[in-house]
Structure formats: structure tokens, C-alpha cells
Structure 1
Amino acid sequence: MTRLSVEMLAADAPEPITSAGHAQLGIAVLAGIAVIVLLITKSKLHAFLALTIGSLALGAIAGAPLDKVLTSFSTGLGTTVAGVGVLIALGAILGKMLADSGGADQIVDTILAKAGGRSMPWAMVLIASVIGLPLFFEVGIVLLIPVVLMVAKRGNYSLMRIGIPALAGLSVMHGLVPPHPGPLVAIDAVQADLGVTLALGVLVAIPTVIIAGPLFSRYAARWVDVPAPDRMIPQRASEDLEKRPGFGATLFTVLLPVLLMLAKALVDIVVDDPENLVQRVFDVIGAPMIALLASVLVGIFTLLRPAGFSKERISPLVEKSLAPIAGILLIVGAGGGFKQTLIDTGVGQMVLDISKDWSIPALLLAWLIAVAIRLATGSATVATVSAAGLVAPLAADMSTTHAALLVLAIGAGSLFFSHVNDAGFWMVKEYFGLSVGQNIKTWSVMETIISVVAGGIVLLLSLVI
């Protein structure tokens, strides 16, 4: 396990904006997080406002000058949006193209046509994992749940037997695999390599989604045996389209950014010469923004044109795809502001100083911090961003692979036990027509399994690579 050189970090660390001791900083962190939790859960305040107010409360209780707290928050917000804002926007455009062109329906129907009986849960987890690569979790739920309900009703399957694998596929992609916002922010915070994180994220995701999806769904179906609610009628996005895009072309478009980023990581490992022309070319085409932009441009010809979209329809589609992500960008940005406030007040260094005498591994510490924030705030993204800010100093002398594993440990912890303060909890409950107790037995347990299994695999990988 890679350990931290505290003396080296202390010498390079910027001067904190407050002289508060560890006790005061600890109280400030707890108070800041408590403010965020209470504002989100009790006052039903938007997470952007809650994070902003929580950051100010943190700085004030830590004894930092208000003008410096505002500067830290603004700097963190701007840096975070600059780092991941374009990627989130491109991902939203690709997701909208996939949905409106009928490409998502094409993938779903093609796989379902070849699956049946005992293989159906495995087909559902495959569908969700593929569709979940370019889509935000909430968008993936809206897109896939009607299909889940239709398959369960048409094939007389237990709703949990079909639904849990689909939810597991979406959730694992959301928490562990870039270009989802949480992993991207964590990668930026700890300065991890995106290609290596993506490769290791997929490696961790495969066994995790198998255990939490098809395998756990057997037990979930026994614990909660409910039929698909009739009130949910699937609406096919491609009903008024001239023609659906082909399965192969759609799959290629979805996987193109992943392939480009993985190719960059592979070339960097094999060539390992920053001056080499081949490596320089792949460093450009494998950059996240270029990879996603390439996928969007390719999607115009592989998704939209086959579906009969004219040039005049493409611009409105892009505009409609960007409007819903305004809230996401603000939340992610405010999370970055909160993270920077944590760092500038010296909380990251405090965690470093306290943990240097612990026998607990750095990756386990990152997982536990993310778990605590997830339980408190209900948001996987907030948990990821905040935990990344707290443990960022731990990555200072880590190898490339261990820095990537630190990101995955944070992502795994951010998925732990979704409950009543999580919007996803209520989305699943309402779509599936479950009671709160039934949702906890299925959805909440599934999220916990994902978190524990993925965290365990990350720790095992850290021992062998």
C-alpha cells in the first residue's frame, strides 16, 4: 500500500487561510456538512444553495476571513466547472442524441430479442451498463425503467428480478466510470490519470455489477415480490422516426469515447515517451473533451441522419440537451467550491496529520469518508466531490495506478446505502410502486452491496498492482 510522505507534503502545502487548530477545524467540517444536510433534507433547499451556504458556514466557524472564504469558494467553483463542465455538456448532448434518435431503443430491443428466461437479468444488466456509459443516472432511469416494466409484464418476470440488474448497471457506471461527473471531479481533485482510472473502473465495475445485479436480484425478488405497476406505460422515442440507427453503429458511437481514452492510456504505457509523435497524437485524440466531441460529431451521422433528422433539427436537439444540466453543473461547481474551501482552510492537511499515525490504509480512509458524507447528504456526487477534497493530499506521492484506485475508492464509498435523503431513492420507489420499506430492502441494499464489493475489490487491487 502506497503511504504518504507527510514532511514533503507539509513543505509544499499552501498556507491555510485560517490558523484554527485541528479541533476547531473538525467542528467546522461537521458543522458545514450538517448545514448542508439540514438545508437539503429539512428545508428542501436546492443543493447548489445548500453547498454555497455550507461552505460559508465552514469558513466562518473555522475562523477564516470572509473575503478569503469567498475567494476559495469562487476559485473552486470556477476550476471545477472549467475542468468538467464541457465534458458534462458533451455527455448530455450524446445522451440526448441516443434517446431521441431511437438508438437506445435499438440497443435495448436487439439485446432483448436474443435473451429470455434465466438470461434476461443478465441482458438487463448489460443493457443498463452500455446505456449508462454516456447517460446521467437520472436520465438512465427515465430511459430504462419503462423498458424494465414492459419486459417484466410481457414476460411475466418478477419486477425485482429484472429491475435490480438494470439499476445496478446504471449505478455502477455512475459511481465508478468516467465520464460521469463524480468520477471526473475526483480525478481532477487528486490529479489521477483519466485513462488509467477508466480502465481500472471498468475492471472493478464488472464483478461488482454481476454480484449486485443478477446475483442479488434472486434474493431481492424473494424479499419483495411485486408486479410491474400498470400506470407506467412505456413511450418509445422512435415511434415517429423515419428509421432507427443500426445496432452496430449505435454501439460504436456510445463506446467511441471509451475506446479513445483507453487507447491513449495504452499508448502512454507502451510508448512512455512524451516527445514521441504517436503518443502526442493519442494524447490529443484520447483527451476526454476530444473523445466525447468526436463521439458527438460521429453521432450526427450514425444516429441522427439515419433517423431522418434534418440539419435544422440538430441545433434544437443540442439546445434541449443542455438546458437540464444547468442544475447539475451548478451542484458540481458548488461542490468544487466546498472542496476548495475544505482545502484552503487546512482541513485536507488536518486529515493528513491525523491519519499519518493510523494503521488504516489511505484507500480505506477515502472510502469511509465518502460513506459518511453519502449517508449525511444523500448525494453521491456531493460525497465524491467533498471526499476528494478531503483526501486529495493523500495522493501526493502515490503511483498512477494507486491515484486511480483512490478515485475508485471514493466513488465506491459515495454509493453506500441510499436512503430517504437521496433523490434516486424516491425515483426508484415511485417508478416501481414500492413502499419505503420495500425500497430499502431492495434498492438501498443493492447500493450498499455495490459500495462494499467495489471498495473491497479496490483494496485487493492495491495489493497486487
Structure 2
Amino acid sequence: MTRPSVEMLAADAPEPITSAGHAQLGIAVLAGIAVIVLLITKFKLHAFLALTIGSLTLGAIAGAPLDKVLTSFSAGLGTTVAGVGVLIALGAILGKMLADSGGADQIVDTILEKAGGRSMPWAMVLIASVIGLPLFFEVGIVLLIPVVLMVAKRGNYSLMRIGIPALAGLSVMHGLVPPHPGPLVAIDAVGADLGITLALGVLVAVPTVIIAGPVFSKYAARWVDVPAPEKMIPQRASEGLDKRPGFGATLFTVLLPVILMLAKALVDIVIDDPENLVQRVFDVIGAPMIALLASVLVGIFTLLRPAGFSKERISPLVEKSLMPIAGILLIVGAGGGFKQTLIDTGVGQMVLDISEDWAIPALLLAWLIAVVIRLATGSATVATVSAAGLVAPLAADMSSTHAALLVLAIGAGSLFFSHVNDAGFWMVKEYFGLSVGQNIKTWSVMETIISVVAGGIVLLLSLVI
């Protein structure tokens, strides 16, 4: 892989808003990240506020005029929300439709009917991976936990043997596969191609989820042998419905955005002529916004109508789906503001200057930066957007394939060792009725396996493609 030279990028780089040297910029970055970490972990401040204050701290210590820091932060926030905000909203709508119509339960029940015995952990991976495509991680957990608990109880399975594969499927989708917010922000930051990133993300995700899911669950079940907690089995979404959509229609609706985006990537590779009518058509229908919008519109007829939803119930459902993502949009936007502040103060160029003399590959550097921020903040999304801002200049001279791998390296690093400062850690602990130690032995180790395996596969792919 060709690394971009400092000389090649210097001419194109925008003039930094400060004249600080590398030492001062380094201190500013550390201080900015330290403020974010301290505010999130110690003072329990919302990540949006923490990222905003951290960006201002970074600019002030770097010696930049605060009015220019504010301009950089606002520009980055606006650009990021403009780039991924609609996609996050459409994903939230599709996820709500899938949950409230009973479509998610239909997929789960159909697959479980065909599975049993030793194949059950593999069925749970498949269920979680399919359900996890359009859903945020936390929503996926809420949807799948009842299934995990019921399967473990009725089939007399170890909770970890069933639960770990489901959690692995959700986590891998969240960190590596668009249209999840983290990968989308990283794609936008480094200028990667979404279709190529999606294809490579699936390629990396398959072996990763197998190792971290069914394979690791054998050991997790031995280390922590606990029954499904009775009190945590909630009502399933479809129990109040008289009917629900069919399996085939539901699966088609969930996979439609992926099919359209992959089709666009394939047509771009095969035809490779921007003026060709076929390629132009696929460039439109395979654009993320159009692909997700198509899935939402199709879902009205394949998910909501079969479940008995009238026209009057559709608008309130969309409204309810958008309310929970306000915090996510603000965090992602503030992450984009932090990223732009990093770039405009010259931190991105500083990373490029320093790493020019290092023997560390760009992909490994991106993974390590994401790991450090993940360990410090506990947020995979914060780790992704911050790391993407720091290493974005490294993608300037990369091929489209390696730029996509850079996104996946960041995503893999952002999943490393979830612990007590991660909300997901506590969700899993409480739902499964585990102690902190038991959760570390299972959930935290699983997340680390995902991060290391995915990062390793990304590095191997960079050597052969």
C-alpha cells in the first residue's frame, strides 16, 4: 500500500488556523481528548456536550482564535449531519417498522423453527446479523434479548452459548457494516466508497462473527455457566398483534438497501464509465439515501400493511422512531465538529508528518488510535469519529479499496474491550443477570476478540488487494 508523502499533501492542505508546532498540537490533542474522557466518565456529561467542550479546549490550547475554532466546529458538525443524518433517520424508521410490525419476530421465529441442538448458536448469529443490519446496537439488544432468554430457557441451553453469538452478530454489524452511524461517519471523513466498504465489511464480518460468536461461546459457557434470569423475559413486540408480515417479504425489505448498494459497487467496477446510462442509473438507486428510502417505502407495503397498520398509524410510527435518535445525531455531529477542528488546527497533518518516519502501517495506526479512544471514552461512535478525523489525511493517496480498509480498521478498533464506561456493558450485564466479573469474562472478551480478529483480517486483506 502506498503511503502519501508529506510533500504531495502539503500543497493541497488548507492553511491551518494556528501556527502551533507539533509539540503544542500534540499537547492540545491530548488535552482535548482528556477533557472529553473526563467529562463523559467522571462527570457523566452527555457525549455531545463533552465533544463540544473538548473541541474548544483543543483549539484554545493549540493557540487558534476561538472564533475560527467555532467556525471549524460548526462547519464540521453541519457537514457530518448533512452527510449521514438522513441515513441515520431512515435507518431508525426502518428499524421501528421492523420491530413494531412483528417482522423482526417473524425472522427470528422462522429461523429458530429450522434450528436446534448444535446449530442453535449458528442460528442466533444469523438472526442477529440480519436483524442488526438496519438497527442500532441498543435497539437490536432490546429486540433480541427476549429471544435469547426464551431459547436458553426452553431448550435448556447455557445462556452464554446462545447469548454470545447473538451479541457478536449485533456488535460486528454495528462496528463494520454501513449503514450504521460509525462506519458512515468514517466513510465520510476519509472519503471512502460506501459500496466497496460495505462489500469488504461483509467479507471481514463473516469470519469475525464466527470466531467471536459460536466458537468463543463454547469457552464463555464454561467460564460463566448461568441460567436465563426469569425476571428479565419481557413481552415480545408482536405478542399484541393479530397478524404479522411474512418471512420472505421481511427479509427482502431488510436486505434491499444492501442489495442496491452492492449492485452499485459491482456496476461501477464492471462498467467503469461515468457517462454510461446503466452506471448512472445504478449510481442513483445505489446511493445510500435512495437505497434506504426505497426500503422504507417498500416496508410500508411489506411490513406495516400486512400487520394491519392503517394509514393513520404510519405517521405516528415514523415520529416515534425519530425521537430516540436525536442524541445519536448530536453525538455524531459533534464528533464531526471535533474531527474538523483536528483538521483545521493542523493535527491531521501533524499525524501525517510524524507517522512518515514510523514503521507502523497506516491501517494499524488507525486501529490503535481507535482502540485508545474506545478504552478511554467507552463509546464506539466517539472512538470512530475521533480516530477518523485524526487519520483522514492518510487516505489522501490511497486507492478506493485501501481507503475502505482504513474505515474498517477504525471500526474494528472502536469495538476493543468494552468495560465499565460503556453503556452497552451495563445493558448486557443487567439483561443477563451477570456480575461485573462475569460480564468482563464474556462480553468484554468477546468485544476484544471481534476487534483483534477484524483488525487482523483487514491488515491481511491490505497485503493481497
Which category describes the TM-score, using the shorter chain as reference length? over 0.9
Structure 2: distance between partners of 1:6 and 1:27: 22
Alignment partners' CA distance in 2, 1:427 and 1:64: 40
Q: Single out whichever of 153-162 and 238-247 deviates more from structure 2.
A: 238-247
- Offset, 1:239: 2.1
1:362-418 CA distances to partner (integer Å, 9 max, x unpaired)? Answer: 101110111111111110000000000000000001001000000000000000000
Q: Output the CA distance in 2 between the equivalents of 1:438 and 1:85.
A: 37
Question: Residue by residue, what CA displacement relative to the aligned partner does 1:225-261 show, whole Å, maximum 9, x if unpaired?
Answer: 1111111123121222231100000000000000000
Q: Deviations over 1:336-371 (max 9, x none)?
A: 001111111111000000000111111011101111
Q: Say whether the 8 Å CA contact 1:133–1:254 is kept in structure 2.
A: yes
Tell me how far 1:2 sits from its aligned partner.
Answer: 2.5
**Residues 204-219 of structure 1 aligned to structure 2 (within 5 Å):** 204-219=204-219
Q: Does structure 2 conserve the Cα–Cα contact (< 8 Å) formed by 1:138 and 1:424? A: yes
Contact 1:229 1:432 (8 Å CA) reproduced? yes
Conserved 8 A contact 2:175-2:415: yes
Cα offsets for 1:77-130 (capped at 9, x unmatched): 000000000000000000000000000000000001111111000000100000
Q: CA deviation at 1:8?
A: 1.0
User: 1:250-304, CA deviations, whole angstroms, 9 ceiling, x for partnerless residues?
Assistant: 0000000000000000000000000000000000000000000000000000000
After TM superposition, where is structure 1 displaced by more than 4 Å over at least 4 residues in a row? Answer: none
Contact kept? 1:2, 1:402, Cα under 8 Å = no
Q: In the aligned structure 1, how far is the partner of 2:64 from the partner of 2:134?
A: 40
1:199: which partner in 2? 199
Q: Aligned with 1:12: secondary structure? A: coil
Aligned to 1:277: 277
Checking the alignment, whether the CA contact within 8 Å between 2:108 and 2:127 is kept in structure 1 is: yes
Task: Give CA-to-partner distance per residue, 1:126-153, whole Å, 9 cap, x none.
Answer: 0000000000001001110111011111
2: distance between equivalents of 1:128 and 1:173? 9
Q: Which moved more, 1:413-422 or 1:232-241?
A: 232-241
Distance 1:461 1:418 in 2: 26
Q: Give the C-alpha shift of residue 305 in structure 1.
A: 0.3
Does the residue aligned with 1:156 lie in a helix, a strand or coil?
Answer: coil
Q: Provide Cα deviations, 1:1-38, integer angstroms capped at 9, x if missing partner.
A: 22112211011100111111111111111111111111
TM-score by length of 2: 0.99
1:385 match: secondary structure: helix
Alignment partner of 1:239: what SS? helix
Residues paired across the two proteins, number? 465
Q: 2:68, 2:436 → 1: CA distance?
A: 43
- Distance in 2, Cα, partners of 1:122 & 1:34: 41
- Is the 2:146–2:236 Cα contact (8 Å) retained in structure 1? no
8 Å Cα contact 1:100-1:237 kept in structure 2: yes
Distance 1:98 1:357 in 2: 50
- Taking the aligned partners of 1:367 and 1:338, their CA distance within structure 2 comes to 19
Give how far 1:57 is off: 0.6
CA distance in 1, matches of 2:266, 2:198: 11
Q: Conserved in 2, the CA contact under 8 Å of 1:198 and 1:262?
A: yes
Asked if the contact 1:39–1:45 (Cα under 8 Å) also holds between the matched residues in 2, the reply is: yes
Q: Report the identity percentage.
A: 95
What is the CA–CA distance in structure 2 between the aligned matches of 1:16 and 1:145, rounded to whole Å?
48
Q: Distance in 2 between matches of 1:444 and 1:232?
A: 21
Aligned equivalents of 2:238, 2:224: Cα separation in 1: 33
Does 242-251 or 267-276 show the bigger shift?
Answer: 242-251
- Any conservation in 2 of the 1:147–1:234 contact (CA below 8 Å)? no
- The answer (yes or no) to whether the contact 1:150–1:234 under 8 Å persists in 2 is no
The answer for unaligned runs of 5 or more in structure 1 is none
Of 257-266 and 429-438, more deviation after overlay is shown by: 429-438
Deviation at 1:183, TM superposition (A): 0.2
Q: Is the 8 A contact 2:253 2:295 kept in 1?
A: yes
Cα distance per residue 1:413-445 (max 9 Å; x no partner) = 000000111111111111111111111110000
Please state how far the C-alpha of 1:171 moved relative to its aligned partner. Answer: 0.3
Aligned partners of 1:93 and 1:318 also within 8 Å: yes
Structure-1 separation of matches of 2:90 and 2:144: 21
